[in-house]
A and B are shown apart, each in its own frame.
Chain A
Amino acid sequence: MTAATGQLPEQVEGAGQDRERRRRRARASRGDSRLAWRLILPTIVLLVVVIGYPVVYAVVKSMQLDKADAGINPSTGFFEQGGKFVGLKYYRYWFNCNCPNGTNGHEFWPSVQTTLIFTVITVAFEVVLGTMMAMVMHRAFKGRAIVRAAILVPWAIPTAVTARLWEYMFQPHGVVNSVLGTNIIWTGSVWPARWTVMLGDIWKTTPFIALLVLAGLQVIPDELYESARVDGANALQRFTAITLPLVKPALLVAVLFRVLDVLRIFDLPYILTHGANQTTTLSILAVNELRSSQNAAAALSTITFVFIFLVAFVLVKVFSVNVVQTQARTVKA
């Protein structure tokens, strides 16, 4: 090898030592790997039990005939036994119902639309407001600690309580109408009702985005700003050239989490408006269907699961969301 590559003898010895070092590292890493497995095994088992089992159970159930659809025995008046394998019957039902207005089947496509509207509008508002809040929290000023703690209060209040509070405030003679001087019946028509849900959600989760963006902001070294200021960049240029690109990974992670959260949102609209006035999301529709047919609801849950999975996949691929990559690598680049 030495003759062929023309390397000096010292380099050959260096190569030998490298190989030895690599072998030692491999042995150590095998031991590390074993320890790693031991540590994460209980978690994985728990996840499989808590997540894997219900998902598989739901998929299996969604392809069986539900008792409520099995017909009524004319003599006893009881429902017949369900359980027969029916394949994709319930999936076809959701995608292609042609059901009259007022039935769950009719509400599938409207709920998809409602869920998407909620997602786009709330995440857009939250990203803008959250980034603004993070920029404020990032500066050093008197009382910053209190501001940082206070900003978390909406996130800390349980969603059920939030929903009830907003419901109370959006009453016809409630706080919101008094403050705004309006007489809107918030929970009485489509877009006002949707805005009550969206405002409640934005209020509650903007702090979440603010915190994630703040973490991203704190890794940016001050020297970059210093040198930019020396070079004569103004505030807006500093923001767009330094802050935004460097905070992008954290921001995209926050966006991904929020998008997934809103796509499956249930508690806020259910308690605030009960799903009336076109605020029924996919999860609310599944719970409503539970009242009639468990297996049809299982099919809808599976559809929702696949839908959200696809959205997450697209987001990660298209925006190269680095969920695992560290912030430091981005800054170094």
Chain B
Amino acid sequence: MHYRRLLAIVVAAVLTVGVAAGCSSSKSSGGGGRGPITFVTGKDTSGVWPAIASQWNAAHPSEKVTVKQQSDQADQQHDDIVQHMQAKDPGYDIVTVDVIWTAEFAAKGWLEPLTGQYSLDTSPMLAGPVKAATYNGKLFAAPFASDGGLLYYRKDLVPTAPTTWSELISDCAKKTSGMNCYGGQFSQYEGLTCNAVESIYGAGGEVVKSDGKTPNVDTPQAAEGLNFLVNGFKQGYIAKEAITYQEEPSREAFQSGKLMFLRNWPYVYAHLTGDANSQVKDKFGVAPLPGLNGLGTSTLGGHSAAISVYSKHKATAYDFVKFIETPDIQDNQFLKVGTLAPVIKAPYSDASAIAKFPYLPTLEKSIDTAIPRPVSPFYPAITQSIETNVYQALQGSLSTEQALKNIQAGITKATDG
């Protein structure tokens, strides 16, 4: 039949194309050039980007920037970027890269190294964020906001913040009824990895050795650190419902006065002081994280702006990246509007800024002493191993020692490829 033959030819052609496309290698395209750009970032919960974008657009009418907001969940932001990069999409000119994704995206060849014509002066910046954006000795992204873990506490009930975990637990005797003692982020997601590694660091343990690659988490110190969280659920100084907490639910618990101590990021400050429904407006203080025998260590968070290798307007993108590093934007937008942590050193020693945001010295110390999570192109598998095992340990279905053994094996397997 005429049509059956035609159909057979069409089917064969399409399937051949499928096989050929599957087998072919891909070539990337480069391109300098100026023109309109798209800046991709996660959901702007701090409300800083509209003002930044309109400031740039007013000065550069022919090279306007469009801010594209992704989901508010880090995993979805990551997957969205991965999909567009795998499709070699030139529509994503600058992407916001969380510190933990820089190594992975750089190793996959998706980020334009900030050297040569795209080099960035990093001397005004804090050391930690710059190191986090460096992979294999080259800078691949421009940090624009940093992040360190902070302890928010009710200073009306506890005048001085605790410096050790045992002090924290005994301070909880002063809580009023209806309150819970300690809260953090314990749902099975990246936030749990942050809380878990902070506890491990706080007891003197480590996740990987100083070479950044070899796992070393199956140690007694790491177990003691992790037990601070595990015992919290067992003994009750962490509420059972906290197993579902992410950043926002834990903030809401503290903001409505139901939590004595909260471990969270600096962005929370703006909500606690500015939100209409905040029950703790003048009743809270900010302190460094406590540890086992003294002050603990936070994990380094933060976001950087990276230029996609598939962008067609890299010169404009580069100028925009430099723009958001200027003291004006860092100070007036990131700090004053969003209470995000600026990456340049200047605001932290500015007396007027400190007067308005008294937690700035604490935050600077937190960032300076922060230990990054393992910097590795295989980070997604590493964090999944940590999240899953720590979550099961917190639920009580896995012992702390077994969880750490599994994490050790998981990281080894991930980095072996």
Contact partners of B11 in chain A: CB under 8 A: 48, 52
In the complex, which residues of chain A have a beta carbon less than 8 angstroms from the beta carbon of B135? Answer: 77
Whether B45 is near chain A, meaning CB under 8 Å from some CB there, is no
CB distance from B6 to the nearest CB of A (A): 7
A56 touching B395 by the CB < 8 A rule? no
State whether the Cβ of B169 lies closer than 8 Å to any Cβ in chain A. no
Question: Of B12-20, B120-128, B261-269, B293-301, which binds chain A?
Answer: B12-20
- Given known A-B contacts A72-B107, A78-B107, A291 and B380 have beta carbons under 8 A apart: yes
Instruction: Give A244-287 interface residues, CB cut-off 8 Å to B.
Output: 274, 276-277, 287
Which residues of the partner chain A approach B17 to less than 8 Å between Cβ atoms? 53
Residues 169-180 of chain A: 1 if any B CB is under 8 Å from the residue's CB, otherwise 0?
001110000000
B179 contacts the other chain (CB 8 A): no
B229-272: CB near A (< 8 Å → 1, else 0) gives 00000000000110110000000000000000000000000000
Residue B274 at the chain A interface, CB threshold 8 Å: no
The interface size bin for chain B is: 35 or more
Do the beta carbons of B109 and A78 come within 8 Å of each other? Answer: yes
> Which one, A33, A83, A291, contacts B82 given CB within 8 A?
A291
Given A48-B14, A60-B23, A79-B377, decide whether A102 and B389 contact each other with a Cβ distance below 8 A. yes
**Chain A contacts of B389 at CB under 8 A?**
101-102
B-side contacts of A288, CB under 8 Å: 384
A-B contact count (CB 8 A): 139
Inter-chain contact A34/B15, CB cutoff 8 Å: no
Given A41-B6, A102-B384, A188-B244: A291 and B78 interface contact (C-beta under 8 Å): yes
At the interface, yes or no: B410 with Cβ under 8 Å from chain A?
A: yes
Stretch of A63-71, A141-149, A223-231, A233-241 with 4 or more beta carbons under 8 angstroms from chain B: A63-71
Task: Say whether chain B's binding surface is mostly helix, strand, loop, or mixed.
Answer: helix
Known contacts: A52-B18, A292-B378. The answer to whether A102 contacts B3 by CB under 8 A is no
**Please, which residue of chain B has its CB at the minimum distance from the CB of A81?**
B25
Report the nearest B residue to A82, measured CB to CB: B25
* A114 CB, min distance to chain B CBs, angstroms: 14
Interface size, chain A (Cβ < 8 Å): 51
Other-chain residue from A38, A53, A68, A276 in contact with B187 (beta carbon distance below 8 A): A276
CB contacts (< 8 Å) of A83 on chain B: these are 23, 25
Q: Tell me the nearest residue of chain B to A49, going by C-beta.
A: B14
| Measured CA separation A292–B380 after assembly (Å) | 7
B200 smallest CB distance to A (angstroms): 16
Which A residues are in CB contact (< 8 Å) with B7? 37, 41, 44-45
Q: Is the C-beta of B106 less than 8 angstroms from some C-beta in chain A?
A: yes
Complex Cα spacing A99 to B414, Å: 10
Contact A103 B385 (CB under 8 A): yes
Residues of B near A37 (CB, < 8 A) are 1, 3-4, 7
- A54 to B21 Cα, complex, angstroms: 10
Partner pick for A79 among B15, B107, B388, CB 8 A cutoff: B107
**Which residues of A lie under 8 Å from residue B4 when comparing CB positions?**
37
| A294 contacts across to B, CB distance below 8 A | 86
Q: List 27 A-B contacts (CB under 8 A).
A: A38-B3, A45-B7, A45-B10, A45-B14, A48-B10, A48-B11, A48-B14, A53-B17, A56-B18, A64-B22, A77-B107, A77-B135, A79-B107, A83-B23, A100-B406, A100-B410, A102-B387, A102-B389, A103-B381, A185-B240, A276-B188, A276-B391, A287-B79, A290-B82, A291-B380, A292-B380, A292-B381
8 cross-chain pairs, A with B, having the tightest CB-CB distances, nearest first = A77-B136, A60-B22, A100-B409, A172-B241, A102-B388, A102-B385, A56-B18, A37-B3
- Beyond A52-B18, A171-B244: 13 further Cβ-contacts under 8 Å? A44-B7, A57-B19, A68-B108, A71-B417, A76-B136, A78-B106, A79-B107, A79-B109, A100-B409, A101-B388, A102-B387, A188-B241, A189-B395
